[in-house]
Amino acid sequence: MNDQLMLLAGAWVPRPGRMEIRNPENGTLIGSVPRASAADVEIALDSAFEARRDARAMPAHMRASILLKAAALLEGDSESFARTIATEGIKTIREARLEVVRAAMTMRLAGEEAGRLVGETISFSQRPGSERRSGYFVYEPVGVVVAIAPFNDPLNLVAHKVGPAIAAGNTVILKPHGKTPFSAIRLAQVLQRAGLPDNVLQVITGSGAEIGDQLVSDRRVRMVSFTGGRSTGERIASVAGVKKLSLELGSNCPNIVMADADINRAANDCISGAFWAAGQNCLHVQRIYVERPAYDRFREEMVARARCYVTGPKLSDSTDMGCIIDENEAARIELSVHSAVKQGGRVVVGGMRAGTVMQPTLVENVPDGHVLMRDEVYGPVSLLAPFDNFEEAVARANAVDLGLQAAIFTSRLETALDAIERLEAGAIMVNESTDYRLDSMPFGGIKGSGMGREGVRHAMIEMSEQKVACFNRAVH
């Protein structure tokens, strides 16, 4: 990966200030990127703003062709991209390969949807006196989109922002995460090879603390798409001004296992959702509520599977789970487990760490008021808790100020439908853990989990404005 440049005003440029990028597994230096300044932000803003009319005028078939070619180029270089993801980030090579597959699918979906963003006719005659009026509305690009990406999916979540923005006719300023910029830079290079015109995409690298406010508050920016922590999201909302916001701020996902569920299936799905990407995942299976008659069996199944999970080198095909993004985060996760134990929790497997590797961990008897029950842990820690009836399970699931996704395992349709109606989340998974996302579905949360929706077509709508045309045929 070595030393990379950033993309400003159509050129890959160096800067004297650099940010070192290290492999979180062992601290090895793998390269560096420019540390952008306020002047660099202004270059990016100027370039994106000036190019917005050209991006808007680009025919839908051209946008589609570029995005579909980019998807094909991603697939053709999938193993190299997977190694980049696994080296700079927290995923194992097997997890990274799946991310590349999804990123190519996301870009392909964006290409396919580029020509499908169509409006609707409007029935003006529904109002008395408007019988001779007719018209329609269309979608137009917002203009300049600032996209700020997280570290946990450094390729696919970038694709989820850049692909729809281009498909909808916008220019994009991409700020990749400071710890995982290489995947985003490589995707930008792929888009250039696919024929993306200069200045439609800027890639600015640097510290969010140093350049973030300037990026999101500028009036030339018409939308900010951010995935990351709640405190940063709240900061963006406070300084952005009057513009569109799409904020995905994480969750503490509840998974309910009814006694009538297929327990083996529930355990398989929950264990994968608990430890995928070492739990650094907004859909992480964090709280698992199990109906009391099934609790002991489910607990045994989960413990047996957790003990089989292999931690080790990320680039080894035999490794199931990688590392935490840095040692401070790993220490925070470990301390939260110790705190839960002090308040009556019991570690049934795991609970310790070595450097940035945290053991796959299951904890039971954690008080409902503890931070692990309230907030997002962002690590490989899942909580087991019995419940006595469906009412209790729903009440405990809804008791936090987060609501991205929730899940229920049951064999009864009536129970599933009741859960869909009553659980407070942006999506409800039935006989599937919360760690499931289709890249075309509307994706986003309620309450403190954020605002707006991703999912390619839905993100394109968020990145567009509606314009109405009304014809008064009564005029002579």
323 is catalytic: no
Could you tell me which of 446, 473, 52, 467 has the C-alpha nearest to residue 248? 446
Helices 60-76 and 182-193, axial angle in degrees (round to 10): 120
E strands, 162-243, are 171-175, 201-203, 221-227
Q: Half-sphere exposure of 131 toward its Cβ, with a 13 Å CA cutoff?
A: 2
Calpha distance 228→293 (Å, rounded): 38
Q: Output the six-digit token pair for 316.
A: 């080894």
308 is catalytic: no
Check if the beta carbon of residue 419 is closer than 8 Å to that of residue 408: yes
DSSP assignment string, 106-132: HHHHHHHHTTT---EEE-GGGSTT-TT
Tell me, what DSSP letter sits at residue 330? H
Instruction: Quickly count: other Cβ atoms within 10 Å of residue 266's Cβ.
Output: 27
Check if the beta carbon of residue 169 is closer than 8 Å to that of residue 465: no
Q: Output the six-digit token pair for 167.
A: 């498909």
Catalytic residue among 25, 88, 253, 282: 282
Helices 60-76 and 156-167, axial angle in degrees (round to 10): 160
In the chain, what is the straight-line distance between the N-terminal and C-terminal CA atoms, in Å? 68
CA 59 from chain centre, in angstroms, equals 29
Check if the beta carbon of residue 462 is closer than 8 Å to that of residue 244: yes
Q: What sign has the CA pseudo-torsion 159, 160, 166, 171?
A: negative
Catalytic residue among 248, 334, 376, 454: 248
Q: Output the six-digit token pair for 128.
A: 């008395």
Catalytic residues: 248, 282
